[in-house]
Amino acid sequence: MHYRMIFYVLGVFACGFGALMSVPAFVALFFQEGQAARIFLEVSFATMVTGGAMVIMMRGTNKTMTHKDAFLLTFLTWSVLSIIGSLPLYFTGAAPTFIDGLFESVAGITTTGASVLSGLDSMDHGVLLWRSMLQWIGGMGIIVLAVAVLPFLGIGGMQLYRSEMPGVTKDKLQPRIKETAKLLWIVYLVLTILCAAAYSVAGMGTFDAIAHAFTTVATGGFSTHDASIGHFNSFSIEMVAVLFMFLGAVNFSLHYMFLTTRGRVVYAKDSEFRMFLILVISAVVVLSLMLMSLDVYQASEAVRYSLFNIMAVITTTGYATADYNAWPVLAPMTMLVLMFWGGCSGSTAGGMKILRIMMIVKQSQTELIRLLHPSGIVRAKIGNRTISSEVMQAVWAFAGLYLVTFIVISIVMAAYGLDLETAFSAAGATLTGLGPGLGDVGPASNYASVPQGAKLVLCLSMLLGRLELLTLLVLLMPAFWRK
């Protein structure tokens, strides 16, 4: 393990992160929130000094990076930056305890969007912006950003990129990893700007539009209001949110190809995208029919609420316009299933990713066909490409680990005294990056009431979900630490 190199890079990251923290400081100054501004500036300064000191102490290290280094560095980056990100939340008093601050920060940076804060409507603008920024930075990935910006992460950059990027296969869009990362961030930035503009046109104030654009495209789900998007009670704002949540949950390489090929129909050709669309549409149809037939809403409202909330759940954003917890039981049940599906691979969404689910379904199909044709040669295919057995094994292993992790965390939650519904949904909603769960942690309430120790476990759960388990679990292997 090249610890010097790891700490050097970590120091550089801390400097950059500290610099970003000055943005909410100036916003706070603009809104004349003197105390918040001071705290943000202080933490920002302290972070940059510490990071700078690390860089200076570790300078001259060689830049070779092994697989192991990349895993450890990814873990340390996400956990250290989460801790730094929590400091202003705690010091400004927005979060009552340090653990609450940490939970909020992790929920931000992992784009989970599970919150412990209430009274958002009267909170300092600096704090609100910082929460949104955390989600935005975490959405496309801290390391992807670093690879795009920092010149020295060459080959090692690829190792890091793979340990952070969600999805089954991690394709390069460009021969150089730096260019690939840059493109992803450019697409991300463009989407964010469009989203902010659209919100603003739809009637949001400038600050809200920017803060929500950050968390929409990142499929994060933090809002600047306790009632989330429901606060605005505006059909057009909801539709903007639906559109950009959807775009955020689509594989970014499709967006990139769409932009570079000047609008050739790349989306329709992608089987994961098609499946995503079909899923959303059928879920909306089923749910709105149900809401109508049970007389919860009238036709137009039923479609509006089910479309928004299904999109918020399947993209694991976690905005809310209605308390679906209170809808007939099929609704929360659907939500629970949908959040595990998540968005497309290579997107900002969480969950297991649609591509993985498709692979598992296809593989199961081939097993059935094999029963009918015992000597048939059957291959599982996505589009017209055969799924290689190596990829298939990796997907199965991932699915197994996902299930085990979900169960273990649920049990721990139950041990902390949460009721069944709350325990299961809290574990699921943090692991998949959705945010609000069901029961006591449903869309109408939040995680404030969860015991402190359980919050720490949920922090871990969020990190596990964002880094897709393996990157973190590999650190638990004794063999990882052996020389």
Partner 1 sequence: MLNAIVVGAGEVGISIAQNLSAENHNVVMIDHDAHKLQQVLDVVDVQIVEGVGSHPDVLEQAGADRAHLLIAVTQSDEVNMIACQVAHSLFGINKKIARVRDMAYLNITHNRLYNREDMPVDVVISPEKEVADAVVRAAEVSGSFDVTYMAGNTLALIGLKIPKECAYLGVKFREVLERIEYNFRAISIFREDRVIYPRGEDHLEEGDEVYLLCKRDDRTAIMEELGHQHKPMQDVMIIGGGHIGYEIALQMEARGVNLRLIENNLERANFLAHHLSHAVVLYGDALDSDLLVQENVSAMDAVFVMTSNDPSNILASISARKFGVENVITRVASRMLMPLADTLHLDKVISPREITASRILQHVRRTKSRVEDLHSIHQGKLEVIELKVTYNSPSHGRTVGSLGLSEGVKVSAVIKEDGTVFFAEGHIPVEEGDTLILVTRIECINEIELMV
Which residues would be at the binding site for partner 1 (CB under 8 A)? 67, 154-155, 157-159, 172, 174-178, 388
Residue 62: CB minimum distance to partner 1, A: 13
Which string of b and e fits 165-199 if b means at least 16 CB within 10 Å? bbbbeeeebeeebbebbbbbbebbeebbebbbebb
Q: Which two tokens stand for residue 402?
A: 């996902």
Name the residue nearer to partner 1 (CB basis): 175 or 374. 175
Distant-in-sequence contacts of 383-390, Cβ < 8 A, 24+ apart = 383/269, 383/270, 383/271, 387/359, 387/362, 387/363
Name the residue nearer to partner 1 (CB basis): 35 or 174. 174
Q: Which two tokens stand for residue 423?
A: 């325990």
Q: Which two tokens stand for residue 400?
A: 């197994």
Name the residue nearer to partner 1 (CB basis): 52 or 154. 154
> E strands, 366-442, where?
381-382, 385-386
Residue 289: CB minimum distance to partner 1, A: 43
Residue 199: CB minimum distance to partner 1, A: 36
Residue 132: CB minimum distance to partner 1, A: 33
Name the residue nearer to partner 1 (CB basis): 131 or 178. 178
Residue 63: CB minimum distance to partner 1, A: 12
Name the residue nearer to partner 1 (CB basis): 67 or 379. 67
Cα separation, 37 vs 31, in Å, equals: 9
Name the residue nearer to partner 1 (CB basis): 398 or 402. 398
Distant-in-sequence contacts of 373-379, Cβ < 8 A, 24+ apart = none
Residue 416: CB minimum distance to partner 1, A: 42
Residues whose CB is less than 8 angstroms from the CB of residue 252 and which lie 6 or more positions away in sequence, other chains included: 140, 184, 187, 188, 346, 347, 348
